[in-house]
Every structure is written in structure tokens, then in C-alpha cells.
Amino acid sequence: MQTATTKASLYQTPESSGTSLTSGDTLECIVGHEIKELGQHVLACTVTYRLPPNLRPIPGASGDPDDPGLLTFRRFYKFIVRARHPLPRLLIICSS
């Protein structure tokens, strides 16, 4: 989550090696964050994943030239918080 003055990480996979999912599996998380500032906020969601070994990577699609099977995508969600007392609490439900 990023504002004009702060940047905070709201969620990161607990395992250092990430979470392994098989085809059809989902990963869900609920993250709460107290909003302390008015104005524009940006929620950045980043997902890094590895292609299965039987799939050939697309040339140039990986951010890591040493590991072409490792891919990442990002989504940004912008929203504005206007004056309100008390300030709202953001609840994010992630589902993939």
C-alpha cells in the first residue's frame, strides 16, 4: 500500500520459497490495514510464479534472464480516501 508519504507491505508469502500450487488450486488471504491518511492510495499486487517444466518459456517474458521460467505480473488499484471520521479500515480479500 502506498500513499504520498508512506509505503507499507501488507502481505508476503510466509514461506521463503513461496507457496506451491497445483493446477486448479487457489491461494486466498485476508489483509487488514488501518487508513491513516486522506488522499490517493495505491494498492500494488505482485505475483511471481514459475512455469511448469513441460511448458517452454516465451523469449523475453521473464524478468530474470538466468531463469526464463520465472514470471511476474503486477496489478495496481488506485482509490481516494476522503474526509470521514473515523477513517475507514481497508479489508482486502485476495483470491486466485
Per-residue pLDDT of 72-85, as tens digits, reads: 888 999 988 887 66
Domains: count for the chain: 1
The range of the structural domain enclosing residue 89 comes to: 28-95
pLDDT of residue 36: 83
Distance CA 12, CA 95 (A): 14
In a domain, 4, yes or no: no
In a domain, 52, yes or no: yes
What value does the mean pLDDT of the chain take?
A: 79
pTM over 0.85: no
Helices (H), 1-96: none
Write the CA distances from 39 to 12, 21, 43, 76, 82, integer angstroms: 25, 37, 13, 16, 6
In a domain, 19, yes or no: no
pLDDT of residue 29: 79
- pLDDT more than 90, % of the chain: 6
3-class secondary-structure state, position 54: coil
